[in-house]
Structure 1
Amino acid sequence: MPGVCTGNMDTGFIGLGYAKVTFLGIVQGTTELLPISSTAHMRVVPALLGWSDPGSAFSAAMQLAALFAVVSYFWRDVRSLAVGSATAIAGRDFANRDLRLSLGIVLATMPIIVAGIALAPLLNACSSPLRSLNVVGAACLVMAALLAGAELLARHTRTLEQARLHDMLLIGLAQVGALIPGVSRSGSTLTAALGLGFKREEAARFSFLLGLPAITLAGIKELWALHQAHLPFHGWAVLGVGLLVASLSAYAAIWALMRILERMSAWPFVAYRGFLGALILLLGATGRAA
């Protein structure tokens, strides 16, 4: 079902109400940080339930829920990078590991910032063609194939301490693909890190740390855009409920992902993404959802 526009922004979540947004907040939070695409789920789940599309604004604002979960789970890493980098700058120790990693993360974030600004009118527009079921379904299948390739071909022996600047830039370029609904930010960066030979748990850790600047900027930008679009108080209240629920769900998702990658592999996500992509394309072909 089509969504709702507020100031030319897709804000279908407003009409869903608190109960439905609570449910979608759980789905969004769980899938946002897993390599299975939260956007794909925000298209297929409402469609199967006969609900309206919550809209791209909802998905983008939920980035702040992911931010809370990542910072909470990886607090030691975040604190170490912040304190270590500040200390290194004060002491002019430019070879410091924390400083180099922090600078690498900042540089690797530049591509998605530039691409995000350039594509913002298309990404957030009502009835954006990028949110069509064909695009989302195809993106899921392509990412399933790439993740499978990374599992089959890479050796998975490198650690984060061995990451070089060009590794970070390549993973940062892969992150740009997340602007296409169905690709998944964690999915694109995790796949790239695995393809570069990083251990599975190290690839996930780096994926989350690299995503912090992009997640923060995307969430704040979307909240500001909603403010400028004069989102009503009811809309902010509904969004707040979604953010709270999604934050808790996202934290649980990180914990589950790290356990799976430490003890198994990324193959469960390959299989799931393949199934999801086929289901979405089927929905589009049968007219089950627009």
Structure 2
Amino acid sequence: MEWLQIVVLAAVQGITEFLPVSSSAHLILVPVLTSWEDQGLAFDVALHLGSLSAVVIYFRHEIWQMIASSLAALRGRGINKDAKLAIWVTLATLPVCIIGFLLRDVISVYMRSTVIIALSLIGFGLLLGYADWKKRGTRSEYQMQLKDVLIIGGAQALALIPGTSRSGITITAALLVGMSREGAARFSFLLSIPVIVLAGGLEAVELLHQPQSVDWLSMAAGTLLSGAIAYLCIHYFLVIIKKMGMQPFVVYRVLFGAWLLWFFHV
């Protein structure tokens, strides 16, 4: 792989995995705007590993507390806020796992058109704007109730529709149930961990059944670049939303969706 291709793909993955702008919408542009060959499944796994490393490192203290508290709860020491958060992350992940498993072929065959991606960008972007403008509250990720978790988990399953954005739809749902901007974003990032593990795991299993030579240098570079960029995105996204909210991302989504409709269908 060319170094420019490695940098561009790592940047696209690192930026769009956690911002509410849809990675699928941006990834369709790479082969359209360049003459590069498909990067291959092995490089996709490397990029996912980079994103996973970024979010795990960024939330390492919270994750450690969740694991330690969950183990303590299993030993009969009671369920504290960290153990409860671990339960909420697990429950909210189940809908996307079940629906993704049942409808994986349908989604990959029938729902990857640029029209669907563009309309999802615009429609769910406007919904995010409404939630941020009208419905945001003050609760953190530690103050959720079961009904909130079920709503957010159900919303995450909508991210299977290309163009929706997993982070975007989960943040939208969290704002609608009364969470703060930062609380919504932090819970969305924590939710990404099991989703990325499962998605990357499926890709890794497929890779084992596709014997091919592996460019280890490209994979290592992609993992490191994707992880570094994703880490910076998480940090600065949490800073930006405190000052400006979600509206800049809403405007970007609407303009980008409109451009996709014009570019591919006019």
Paired residue for 1:218, among 190, 199, 208?
199
Aligned amino acid, residue 252 of structure 2:
Y
Q: Which moved more, 1:45-54 or 1:95-104?
A: 45-54
Paired residue for 2:103, among 98, 108, 119?
119
Per-residue CA deviation, residues 207-258 of structure 1 (Å, 9 max, x unaligned), is: 111221111111111111122122x124665444323221111111101110
Cα distance in 2 between the residues matched to 1:56 and 1:131: 18
Cα distance in 1 between the residues matched to 2:177 and 2:39: 36
Deviation at 1:205, TM superposition (A): 0.5
CA pair 140-60 structure 1, distance change in 2 beyond 3 A: farther
Cα distance in 1 between the residues matched to 2:41 and 2:162: 9
Q: Equivalent residue for 1:23?
A: 8
Aligned amino acid, residue 208 of structure 1:
F
Q: Which moved more, 1:247-256 or 1:46-55?
A: 46-55
Q: Equivalent residue for 1:158?
A: 139
Q: 1:28·1:59 contact (CA, 8 Å) conserved in 2?
A: no
Deviation at 1:135, TM superposition (A): 1.6
Deviation at 1:193, TM superposition (A): 0.7
CA pair 278-54 structure 1, distance change in 2 beyond 3 A: farther
Q: 1:29·1:247 contact (CA, 8 Å) conserved in 2?
A: yes
Q: Work out the percentage of aligned pairs sharing the same amino acid.
A: 39
Listed as ranges, the matches of 1:163-202 within 5 Å are 163-202=144-183
Q: 1:136·1:181 contact (CA, 8 Å) conserved in 2?
A: yes
Is 2:184 the partner of 1:203? yes
Q: Equivalent residue for 1:244?
A: 224
Cα distance in 1 between the residues matched to 2:189 and 2:63: 10
Q: Equivalent residue for 1:227?
A: 208
What secondary structure, in the 3-state scheme, does the structure 2 residue paired with 1:204 have? Answer: helix
Q: Equivalent residue for 2:64?
A: 79
TM-score by length of 1: 0.84
Is 2:246 the partner of 1:266? yes
Cα distance in 2 between the residues matched to 1:164 and 1:60: 34
Cα distance in 2 between the residues matched to 1:54 and 1:188: 28
What secondary structure, in the 3-state scheme, does the structure 2 residue paired with 1:233 have? Answer: coil
Matched pairs, number: 266
Cα distance in 2 between the residues matched to 1:64 and 1:115: 23
| Structure 2: stretches of 5+ with no match in the other structure | none
CA pair 112-72 structure 1, distance change in 2 beyond 3 A: same
Q: Equivalent residue for 1:276?
A: 256
Q: Equivalent residue for 2:19?
A: 34
Q: Which moved more, 1:262-271 or 1:18-27?
A: 18-27
Paired residue for 2:90, among 106, 128, 131?
106
Q: 1:158·1:197 contact (CA, 8 Å) conserved in 2?
A: yes
Aligned amino acid, residue 227 of structure 2:
S
What secondary structure, in the 3-state scheme, does the structure 2 residue paired with 1:111 have? Answer: helix
Aligned amino acid, residue 141 of structure 1:
I
Cα distance in 2 between the residues matched to 1:175 and 1:92: 32
Per-residue CA deviation, residues 87-139 of structure 1 (Å, 9 max, x unaligned), is: 1221341x422222211211111111111212333455xxx442221121111
CA pair 137-172 structure 1, distance change in 2 beyond 3 A: same
What secondary structure, in the 3-state scheme, does the structure 2 residue paired with 1:62 have? Answer: helix
Paired residue for 1:68, among 23, 38, 53?
53
Per-residue CA deviation, residues 165-195 of structure 1 (Å, 9 max, x unaligned), is: 1111111111111112211111111111111
Aligned amino acid, residue 89 of structure 1:
L
